[in-house]
Amino acid sequence: MKNYILKYTSYSSNIFPGDAIDIKVAYFAGIQFSLEYNSCFIYFDVVTSDNRPIVLSFRMECESEKEFNDTLAMYSHLFINGITAAVNIPSLTAVSCFYKQTTKLNVYYQIYALQLNSDDDRTIFKITMDRNIFFQIMFIMNKVRNYDNLSCNGNAIMLNKFNYFKPDIELVKLAHYTPHITALQKLYCSKPKFFDKDFICYCIVTFTKDMNSLNLCFPVRIKNIYRKYKSKFTLDIKKFEEQMEESDIPSYFITDGFPVEYSLSADIPMSKFMFVGISVHCKGENKYFNIPEDMFENIGKLCMEILEK
């Protein structure tokens, strides 16, 4: 399933010359399907920085009939609601990927969108948003691609959590940090079945750069050697958490991980994996963590080294 993206050159001369529409919140509002386009449209109720309601949708193209049918079966009950279902609310559909803009003061993300079924459906509008709202949209898109449950079931706040994050949350890029795992720590897991070839365990990874260090509680998939080294694991989550709480180093539990797609242009997105961590020591403090793909493999090897020592 991929985003519907037009070439910038196909609409660059039709971009509305006025100020950009700046978004301050974006709440997931449902999914609508189009048999004609073999696509689904993910809808968000949006409030702009000057308190105007608009509807923003993203067209996701299914790459096969099976993918369309599977998505339809999973989400056909998620009818659009909220202001999205209201009459006479401006409705915009994205036609570009997100692209990153950096100023001296902040980082923000921008897309272009058009107003379908309007008197002038060729005019393209510029939309901007901060990192939190960009992550909110990426968070929902990733759930749709993974067929995750999007029925709120009274938990709408958790589904739309990034709207409530502080706008100045720090993004920590770990590419130049060195990961290591303390040999004395116990790894946490749910006891794997005997015939499982591999399983997920959690370990505390310390990342160091110059004089700076931080701990992340990390999920790692390793081969099933639990019975051989079970003295190095704990099945008690509270005992595992105590290791983080007793550390003098700033420590974070990873709460979410998902890819984000953006570019330095409006045409071709690149994908990076982002993690969201919540502080063990400071109540309610969150940070974003960008971890290079090759570091995941390295962390898995570190886990195995610790177990086999």
- Residues 263, 286 share a domain: yes
Using the 3D structure, point to which of 164, 179, 209 is the last residue of a domain.
Answer: 164
pTM for this prediction: 0.90
Show which of 139, 164, 189 is a domain's final residue.
164
Contacting residues for 17 by C-beta, under 8 A, at least 6 apart: none
Q: Are residues 150 and 227 in the same domain?
A: no
* Tokens coding 228: 């051989």
Do 149 and 267 lie in a common domain?
no
Same domain, yes or no: 218 and 159: no
Beta strands 233-234 and 187-188, pairing class: parallel
93 and 51 in a common domain: yes
Same domain, 89 and 42: yes
CA dist 2 → 26, 62, 81, 112 (Å): 21, 7, 24, 17
Same domain, 204 and 130: no
What is residue 20's DSSP assignment? P
Q: Please give the pLDDT value at position 118.
A: 65
**Do 8 and 154 belong to one domain?**
yes
Indicate the residue among 132, 164, 196 that finishes a domain.
164
- Give the model's pLDDT for residue 161: 92
Same-domain check for residues 151 and 234: no
> How many Å apart are CA 221 and CA 181, to the nearest integer?
15
Taken as a whole, the chain contains a residue count of 309
For residue 26, the model assigns a pLDDT of 96
Q: Are residues 114 and 225 in the same domain?
A: no
> Which residues, at least 6 apart from 67, have a Cβ–Cβ distance to it below 8 Å?
1
Q: How many domains does the chain have?
A: 2
In the three-class reduction of DSSP (H, G, I as helix; E, B as strand; rest coil), residue 23 is classed as strand
DSSP state of 44: E
* Mean pLDDT of each 10-residue bin along the chain, 309 residues long: 89 92 94 89 94 94 92 88 73 92 87 80 91 96 92 74 91 92 88 87 92 90 87 91 90 92 82 92 89 84 83
Of 89, 81, 86, 20, the closest CA to residue 50 belongs to 20
Q: Map tokens 């099945």 to a residue.
A: 235
Which domain, by its residues, includes 175?
171-308
- Rounded CA-CA distance 18/215 in Å is 46
Residues 139, 271: one domain?
Answer: no
Across-strand partners of 212?
209
Tokens of 130: 């901060």
Can you list the alpha helix ranges (DSSP code H) found in the chain? Answer: 65-75, 131-145, 156-159, 237-245, 293-308
Residue keyed to tokens 């409030």 = 47
Q: Is 53 in the same domain as 180?
A: no
| The residue to which tokens 């989400």 are assigned | 75
